[in-house]
Amino acid sequence: MSEKIFKDLSDFIGTHFIYTYDNGWEYEWYAKNEHTVDYRIHGGMVAGRWVTDQEANIVKLTDGVFKITWTEPTGTDVALDFMPNERKLHGVIFFPKWVHDHPEITVTYQNEHIDTMLEAREKYATYPKYLVPEFAVITYIGSAGIDNDDVINEAPYKGMTDSIRNGSFYDANYRHKKTNI
């Protein structure tokens, strides 16, 4: 079986990734459509956080290289450069001071707690920003398709990324296998 070759945005959009930064933080990320991303955080300062339908700017820099940027309701800015053909990326996360000082506030399903994020952003200090510039190794690439709400549909838990990588999390149509029913 040959591995998918990424060239254009049409190759990238609809793809689901798991990657581990050099600092050990593990993330799961999905290019849901041309302007929206979903993600779960499995390791690091805000492990347990998950987000769906985050508006983002997604562009092709050159063949096989893609840049994605967004600002979260927390005030955190993110810039990711994906090089999936090399199974690597470079990311910079610009955490506001309050997220660095109180990461537990953000460890939730953000979409249900936007007011909490906005309130914390106003209540606590924003600067100085805590920058996390890191390279990462892509450990999983899946073709989930566009606007697949089964990709990121529950909170992260221990062993989830291993289940995804070993093929026991999604069925042949990239739908979440409901093992707890």
| pLDDT tens column, 97-155 | 999 999 999 999 999 999 998 999 999 988 999 999 999 999 999 999 999 999 999 99
Computed over every residue of the chain, the mean pLDDT equals: 93
pLDDT at 1: 35
Query: Catalytic pick from 26, 28, 72, 134?
Result: 72
Query: Catalytic pick from 27, 30, 39, 170?
Result: 27
Judged by DSSP in three states, 20 sits in strand
pLDDT at 2: 45
Q: Give the highest mean pLDDT range of 3-7, 36-40, 41-45.
A: 36-40
Judged by DSSP in three states, 9 sits in helix
Task: Kindly state the average pLDDT of the residues 166-176.
Answer: 91
Q: Determine how many CB atoms are found less than 10 A away from the CB of residue 19.
A: 25
Q: Is 72 a catalytic residue?
A: yes
Instruction: Tell me the C-alpha distance between 112 and 152, whole Å.
Output: 15
Taking 80 as the threshold, does the pLDDT of residue 179 lie above it? no
Task: Kindly state the average pLDDT of the residues 46-54.
Answer: 95
Q: Among residues 47, 28, 163, 176, which one has the least CA distance to residue 89?
A: 28
Task: Kindly state the average pLDDT of the residues 9-28.
Answer: 97
Show the tokens assigned to 61.
């820099």
**Largest interatomic CA distance in the chain:** 53
Q: Is 27 a catalytic residue?
A: yes
pLDDT at 181: 39
pLDDT at 3: 80
Number of Cα atoms under 13 Å in the Cβ half of residue 81: 10
